Structure 1
Amino acid sequence: MRRIGRRDIVAAILIALVAGAAVTSPPLERLHGLSLDILTALRWMLVGDRRDPATSPVVVVAIDGETYETPPFKGSPTQTWTREIGRVLGSITEGGAKVIGFDVIFPSSIEQSEIPFGDTSFGSRVKGFDRDYLITLRKLSDSGKLVLGEILSNDHPDRPDRAQQLAVKNNIRALNVHTDPDNVIRRMPLSFSIEGRPVPAMAVELAARSLGAKPETGPGGVTRLSDYAVPSAVPNTVTLNFRGMGRDIPTYSFADLRGCVEKGDTDFFRRAFDGKIVLLGSLLTFDDRKLTSMHLARGYDGTPVARCALPAPAIAARAARSSVAGVFVHATAVRNLLEHDAITELGLPLRLILTIVFAALIATAACLLAPTSAAITWLGLTVAYAAVAVSTFVHAIALPLTEPVLAGLAALAMMIGYRFVIADREERFLRKSFAFYLAPEVIDSMVASGKMPVLGGEMRNITMFFADLSGFSSIAEKMTPAELVALMNEYLSAMTDIIESHGGYVDKYIGDSIVAMFGAPADDPDHARNAVAAALQCRDHLEELNDSHPAFRGRGLAHRIGLNSGEAVVGNIGSRRRFNYTVMSDTVNLASRLEGANKYFGTVIMASEMTVNQSRSAYTWRELDLIRVHGRDEPIRVYEPLANKDQETEEQSNHAAIYAKGLACWRARDFAQAAQLFESTAGDDPPSRYFARRAQALAANPPAPDWTPVNTLEGK
């Protein structure tokens, strides 16, 4: 996680403001409507609607395809259906319906037909055909139980014919809908201005008559219906809540109801329509279809209910479609008003604030984290926010969804671009500049703190690694400078790669020597184990280079490695103007002495007892000796790592066992037996050869009684 500076904070705020303002601006207003569509779909998929359609206060009587195919309507123009419509309306009213609204318009009457028929017109021949229908309209209108529909338009208004208008005494309300710029219906008008006065829309009128109340508009433009303040984000509209996706509206086929009238089943009408608001409308696959907030999840044309007279069609269930019949839009509006279930939307200021806050969170995450992690954060916050939005939408409160999510995505992209072009340019330069001189962990610390290194250190438990090429001066004398540089670069690169692959940090190169530490700068509880592993691999790899690499072949390069573990001061050490990340302590000095001590025993790797104790379980060791190195009075036990645990060869095991016996005899002053044991393996084991010479010398000239088995090494 990177450190945020003041400039980054300012950039994050500006990016959030720009992203939030952009996605909520008027050109992208469609995003708000899309939020409603997505929330409607998610709520339906995740929660559904457990309401029983039978409890709906609104029902639909559908003039559907079945009606057009059922006698006496089959083959007859709709103008001839008026008598049967009147009979069905009468039965519905007698069944206890509160009010009936027309979502169909009969703009003409068959009595107006001027088609010649004999010596007169067809209209004259059927004069009085609509009489019974008009009488029914008059009765229902006078009782306040009927409202006809009309379409308001400056160019082509669509109204019932003149006789129907007179029959209902202008009990007519507008069926116009509110269509968003993307041709989707998400809201319905509450009223229309007609001749300078507000007239309720059809849905509001039907709900008002059912409640026995009149809609009132207050000074703030809020419409109240009985005790319900209708939420209105867009002035004079109600946002539709398609909670049941159309399936919450019981639907009756007009053909079946006409058959029920013929059957005389008044009980069916009472069971079906008592206390209900009834909408009469068209339900066809090609006429009056509307795109609504349900279009993403696909809505339904109501729920078919039990029949009275006609058998149910072979395919009774209606499939979900992206569009629904217009009558169900009005039915949903009526139900929302009666059940106080219209959607409450946030106004533009609140939407803008919420969008900016979400974008600011994402911009901050993108500033702190790597791009991939920031993208995962955006996805996680999007899912969490969507869950919250769906939860509130269940309670008819619509939080903006698309605007914050898209603003967050825009903020993510802009912040990543800002970091790449501006903020991280300095970090990349710093990393690139210091990569050849400092450990990655030190550079990370510098970048995280935003500060250059300063003098200072801390105590750490580490393992020091010293490596030096043996007899290199004599080899270098025989090489040209170019050959020498090429050889050293190859050697140091190979050893450094091994050291760093085991978590080590190369402190410095001193000629052909390598000084490295394990356990710093990065914490490593297994630093001793990793240091031994690196030493063993360096030993084996140099043998491979001597055999296979052209620059090494024939030169017989060998190196010595010293390992020691303990407390040391690690940090930036030097002058105020020039310093280095390095290490200082007796732990370092002892590791250096152990590297030099290898030449006495003929070993490649020598480790102190402290290193062995911290890594013993991982390797097979043999104790070499108890030695006292130059500049140190206290003797220490030194060991040689043979191989990984349980991976030593039989020869290594035999040599180690004999060596241990010889060392025990040596310490017991049995020098003759010690010499014999060491000589048995001296042929191919340099430490045994070294001890055999020493044992033979002491066997010939025994030491004083106060002799101790401590080998004091004279050189470094």
Structure 2
Amino acid sequence: MRRIGRRDIIAAILVALLSGAVFTSPPLHALQGLSLDILTALRGKLLSDRRDPASSPVVVVAIDGETYDTPPFKGSPTLTWTREIGRVLASITDGGAKVIGFDVIFPSSIEQSEIPFGDAPLGARMKGFDRDYLIALRQASDSGKLVLGEILSNDHPDVPYRAQQLAVRNNIRALNVHTDTDDVIRRMPLSFAVDGKPVPAMAVELASRALGAKPEIAPSGAMTLAGYAIPSASPNTLALNFRGLSRDVPTFSFADLRACAEKGDRDFFRRAFDGKIVLLGTVLNFEDRKLTSMRLSGGFDGTPAARCALPAPARAAQAPRSDIAGVFVHAAAVRNLMERDAVTELGFPLRTTLTILFAAIIACAACVLAPAGAVAAYIALTAVYAALAVSLFVHALALPLTEPALAGLAAVAMMIGYRFVIADREERFLRKSFAFYLAPEVIDTMVASGKMPALGGETRNVTMFFSDLSGFSSIAEKMTPGELVALMNEYLSAMTDIIEGQGGYVDKYIGDSIVAMFGAPADDPAHARNAVRAALKCHQRLAELNAGNAAFAGRDLSHRIGLNSGEAVVGNIGSRRRFNYTVMSDTVNVASRLEGANKYYGTAIMASETTMAQTGDAFAWRELDSIRVLGRGEPIRVFEPLAEKGAESAEQKKAAAVYAEGLACWRAREFGKAVEAFERTAEIDPPSALFARRARALTTNPPPPAWTPVNTLEGK
């Protein structure tokens, strides 16, 4: 166990803040929903939270597969079922149901059919068919026991046909659900604005009528029902608590109830529905299936209730499914309201604070313990935290789970990296590394500048230069060792001459890669400008080698160059007798990432915004994108240098202008216009081709409102 210094504490705090902020940021909002899914699964698997179905205040009447296979419904269009639905509705109402909600919508009537039948339309011949059904709706509605459902939409609303609306005197409420960005239903809307006024959603309306209390909506949007302040971390929503995984909701087959009504068994309807909230909906294998926070644990389409008239059909034991029938989503919402059991989620400030605190504990452990011990501590602490979260979820309080776990993982990784790169480097360098002497030319430059770097390093503003040959490994496989050495010596010599000719210092060669810096060891106020000029000259020189050097014949080599400017620690690292003049900082890491980022865009040179800004007006540039590179949470604006100012070609000017137009449309979410702009130069410009594909994909599948025009690169 090592001692923690002040620098380590600062690093741990910064790592905790960074990792906590990243994993609770809006782009990763889906992690909050994943926490609910995992907590629901763990509670369902580890704890017994199944309740007696008889205690459920909600029951479901299912238009199920049995109904479709049972006369008189078998082979009959659903439009012809209305009179039978009316009979069952009347029996349920007489049985003492508190309120009945329809999760099925009949947008038209057989009486409206204009299909010719004989000498008149079919609808004209069927006039009066729905009369008994409409009477049943009116009677149930007038007694306050019926609410029909509708789907609110600006484009394609789905509402009951007009005669039904009149029959129930507009006792109709919205069935819309709240779907997260991953198409999972974890919350339900509480109300909708209709004609500028808040109108309760179906679940709230049913619970309100059953409780005999109207919902109260505060100016803040918070809702209270019969003294129950409904928890809403997301405004105007209820976080669904699928306690029991929907196994404890009695479910009656509509076919059996229809036969029971024909049989006249009023006692059965009283036993089954007295004092209950009833939801009528479809329960089929492939229609109106919903993914919910039970998707990981598996949910159930209720539990079969007592039968009245028909024998129970032979069926296999009900198995959990990742999706459930939509009517059970509404049943869960109603039950949460009746039992005051909705999930309470932490707001954004508390989630972020808890995540940062967890990451800070892990970061401190990683400072004290060896890497293996730090990983073991992370696993143990995560398990303890998960157990605490599950125990609180039993009481409907949802702690964030995935955010702290991922932030802690990132913290332990970053702290191990911090110790490897910074905190333990002196001992590591003394034991494992040896260095080259500085070249005489570099020493002469340092002496002439009058500023010798101190042993151990100093902070300087530099521009880092990273280059790498594209696809070199596959080329090297086809060459003899002698050919490979001749090729590399020629290439590295040519590139090094250009870099040093522009005042740069080659830090190291890594195979075919070159790491160089400008601005150290000698002061160079124009280090960014000289680095960009060197990159352009290197790119031009490689083209000349490909065209005129025998060692390069037929190879068609290309390279990628990344440039980044900023503060870095540079100096002599090693002993007083042997040392290596090198550089370390995040500036270096970003330059390395930008070199690799070229392959995503098909470019040869990529520079950060800081480098571009420090070159003044010496070059013609075009902005490529805003990217988030591996290992960094904050986005970076990246640019491509085209040529010396005034030396760019007409084709470069045109491509840059078209690209800028397309990028502006992209950032304004005008993806169709972006496609049109980028496609004008896509055949000759790889970045335009890339953006054209991306914009075309978002035209077909628009991003969520929280989308930001930042490209996150998954690789180096």
Q: TM-score range by the shorter chain?
A: 0.5 to 0.7
Q: Tell me, yes or no, if structure 1 residue 73 matches structure 2 residue 73.
A: yes
Question: Displacement of 1:322 after TM fit?
Answer: 0.5
The AA in structure 1 aligned to 2:252 is Y
Question: Displacement of 1:427 after TM fit?
Answer: 3.2
Residue in structure 2 matched with residue 282 of structure 1 by the alignment: 282
Distance 2:380 2:311 in 1: 52
Residue in structure 2 matched with residue 227 of structure 1 by the alignment: 227
Residue in structure 1 matched with residue 420 of structure 2 by the alignment: 420
Residue in structure 2 matched with residue 204 of structure 1 by the alignment: 204
Question: Displacement of 1:50 after TM fit?
Answer: 3.4
Question: Displacement of 1:219 after TM fit?
Answer: 2.9
User: Where in structure 2 are the equivalents of 1:29-44 lying within 5 Å?
Assistant: 29-44=29-44
Query: What residue ranges of structure 2 are gaps of 5+ in the alignment?
Result: 434-716
Residue in structure 2 matched with residue 83 of structure 1 by the alignment: 83
Residue in structure 2 matched with residue 271 of structure 1 by the alignment: 271
Residue in structure 2 matched with residue 309 of structure 1 by the alignment: 309
Q: Decide whether the 8 Å contact of 2:223 with 2:230 is kept in 1.
A: yes
Residue in structure 1 matched with residue 377 of structure 2 by the alignment: 377
Distance 1:262 1:316 in 2: 28
Q: Decide whether the 8 Å contact of 1:207 with 1:338 is kept in 2.
A: yes
Residue in structure 2 matched with residue 358 of structure 1 by the alignment: 358
Deviations 1:360-412 (A, max 9, x none): 01111111101111000000000000000000000000000000000000001
Q: What secondary structure is seen at the aligned counterpart in 1 of 2:182?
A: coil
Residue in structure 2 matched with residue 135 of structure 1 by the alignment: 135
Distance 2:50 2:118 in 1: 61
Distance 2:215 2:188 in 1: 15
Residue in structure 1 matched with residue 124 of structure 2 by the alignment: 124
Distance 2:174 2:122 in 1: 32
Residue in structure 2 matched with residue 609 of structure 1 by the alignment: none
Q: Decide whether the 8 Å contact of 2:50 with 2:248 is kept in 1.
A: no
Question: Displacement of 1:126 after TM fit?
Answer: 1.0
Residue in structure 2 matched with residue 106 of structure 1 by the alignment: 106
Q: What secondary structure is seen at the aligned counterpart in 2 of 1:280?
A: strand
Distance 2:49 2:248 in 1: 8
The AA in structure 2 aligned to 1:174 is A
Q: Which segment is superposed worse, 130-139 or 219-228?
A: 219-228
Give me the TM-score of the superposition, normalised by structure 1: 0.60
Question: Displacement of 1:306 after TM fit?
Answer: 1.4
User: Where in structure 2 are the equivalents of 1:147-296 lying within 5 Å?
Assistant: 147-296=147-296
Residue in structure 1 matched with residue 399 of structure 2 by the alignment: 399
Residue in structure 2 matched with residue 410 of structure 1 by the alignment: 410
Q: Decide whether the 8 Å contact of 2:104 with 2:281 is kept in 1.
A: yes
Distance 2:23 2:86 in 1: 52
Distance 1:285 1:378 in 2: 42
Q: Decide whether the 8 Å contact of 2:260 with 2:309 is kept in 1.
A: yes
Aligned-residue RMSD, C-alpha: 1.0
Q: Decide whether the 8 Å contact of 1:176 with 1:189 is kept in 2.
A: yes
Residue in structure 1 matched with residue 324 of structure 2 by the alignment: 324
Q: Decide whether the 8 Å contact of 2:50 with 2:243 is kept in 1.
A: no
Question: Displacement of 1:263 after TM fit?
Answer: 1.5
Distance 1:425 1:316 in 2: 65
Question: Displacement of 1:222 after TM fit?
Answer: 1.5
Q: Decide whether the 8 Å contact of 2:137 with 2:146 is kept in 1.
A: yes
Distance 1:394 1:429 in 2: 52
Give me the TM-score of the superposition, normalised by structure 2: 0.60
Deviations 1:66-121 (A, max 9, x none): 10000000000001000000000111111110000000000000000111111001
The AA in structure 2 aligned to 1:286 is F
Distance 1:120 1:424 in 2: 92
User: Where in structure 2 are the equivalents of 1:41-80 lying within 5 Å?
Assistant: 41-80=41-80
Q: What secondary structure is seen at the aligned counterpart in 1 of 2:40?
A: helix
Deviations 1:565-584 (A, max 9, x none): xxxxxxxxxxxxxxxxxxxx
Q: Decide whether the 8 Å contact of 2:231 with 2:238 is kept in 1.
A: yes
User: Where in structure 2 are the equivalents of 1:506-655 lying within 5 Å?
Assistant: none
Q: Decide whether the 8 Å contact of 2:247 with 2:303 is kept in 1.
A: yes
Residue in structure 1 matched with residue 507 of structure 2 by the alignment: none
Q: Decide whether the 8 Å contact of 1:304 with 1:317 is kept in 2.
A: no
The AA in structure 1 aligned to 2:246 is G
Distance 2:272 2:381 in 1: 48
The AA in structure 2 aligned to 1:211 is L
Residue in structure 2 matched with residue 345 of structure 1 by the alignment: 345
Deviations 1:273-332 (A, max 9, x none): 000000000011111110000000110000011111111111164221111000000000
Residue in structure 2 matched with residue 561 of structure 1 by the alignment: none
Distance 1:150 1:318 in 2: 30
Q: Which segment is superposed worse, 415-424 or 315-324?
A: 315-324
